[in-house]
Amino acid sequence: MAYYYRGILYWMDGEPDNARACFRSAQLEDSAADDQQYSSDYVLLDYLDGLASVKLAGDGNDAFQRAERLCKRFAKPPPYNKDANVLFFLEFGPGPIKYAGGEYGEELHIRVASSPVLAAVIKVDGQAIRVDPYDDLDFQATTRGGRVMDHVLANKAVFKSTTDAVGNAAIVGGLIAASADRRDPEIGLGIAAAGLIAKIVSANTTPKADTRTWDNLPHYLSFAQMQLPPGQHTATVEFLDRSGQPMSNLTKTININVPADKSDKVVFVSDTSITPQNI
């Protein structure tokens, strides 16, 4: 996601070439999924890759076709409009959160929540565009698969439980042996000491999963493009609930100043954004 947001920032700064490089890097990062059917499967990353190419007077057809093929869960994105000069990046809904599970907290789990927002509508100058999701971050988080470190942590958990069990057995067995042979208890005490060492090693083995995460990621990513004349425009973004009704408490107002130099105006809107915004 870091590359995705960097791409948006580059486009805001008038650098669609660097934005495209970031979107490609983000898609490459996703190629490490354990199950290859989920490898590099962000629709929006390929779509934006192609759009940036079109904006740079290149051919974005291959990227557009890849994006279309990846649209298995949501509606397909529209054809590119090279004359669109206002680009809306939208996100909404609560995103995935990591948490630890297992006996020692060694298992990494993903908590997902249902999104109360399923779509949005952008209204400006008498135009109204419905914006549906293109990517689901909860789906991405739960299909990416484990890392090498997750297997290391699993092995550490096995080692911890094994050394703890061995330590318990050695301490008990050693003390019993020492008490049974009062004339020569050293062997039993040695076994008990070895058990104590095993317990110490077990106690110092920490197989806890890495649950560090962004706590403000969205559930859904989306995008819309629009052609507006230069000058001031006021856009309203309504977020729609599961029944398709606007959620009035989430409605955003954005005052947009479209430049006259034909450069793109990039607008980033979240259901948690402040309102109004002046861009």
Give 3-25 pLDDT, tens digit per residue.
Answer: 999 999 999 999 999 999 999 99
Domain 1-82 is of which CATH architecture?
Alpha Horseshoe (1.25)
Mean pLDDT calculated for residue range 257-271:
95
**Lowest-confidence range among 108-112, 145-149, 240-244?**
145-149
Query: What is the pLDDT confidence band of residue 134, given thresholds at 50, 70 and 90?
Result: very high
Q: What's the pLDDT at 147?
A: 42
Give me the sign of the Cα torsion angle 260, 6, 241, 74. positive
Residues 135 and 223 sit within 8 Å (Cβ to Cβ): no
Is the model more confident about 211 or about 59? 59
Q: What's the pLDDT at 27?
A: 92
Report DSSP state, residue 36: G
Look at residue 251 and give its three-state secondary structure.
Answer: coil
pLDDT at 107 over 50: yes
Q: What's the pLDDT at 256?
A: 97
Mean pLDDT calculated for residue range 254-268:
95
pLDDT at 244 over 50: yes
| Distance from C-alpha of 97 to C-alpha of 113, rounded to nearest angstrom | 9
| Distance from C-alpha of 4 to C-alpha of 10, rounded to nearest angstrom | 10
Q: How far is CA 197 from CA 8, 159, 207, in A?
A: 55, 14, 19
Mean pLDDT calculated for residue range 76-89:
95
Q: For the segment 30-59, what is each residue's pLDDT rounded down to a tens digit?
A: 887 666 777 888 999 999 999 999 999 999
What kind and span of H or E run contains 269? strand 265-270
Share of the chain above pLDDT 90, in %: 58
Q: What's the pLDDT at 176?
A: 58
| Distance from C-alpha of 122 to C-alpha of 126, rounded to nearest angstrom | 10
| Distance from C-alpha of 172 to C-alpha of 178, rounded to nearest angstrom | 10
Residues 277 and 256 sit within 8 Å (Cβ to Cβ): no
Amino acid at 160: K
pLDDT at 192 over 70: no
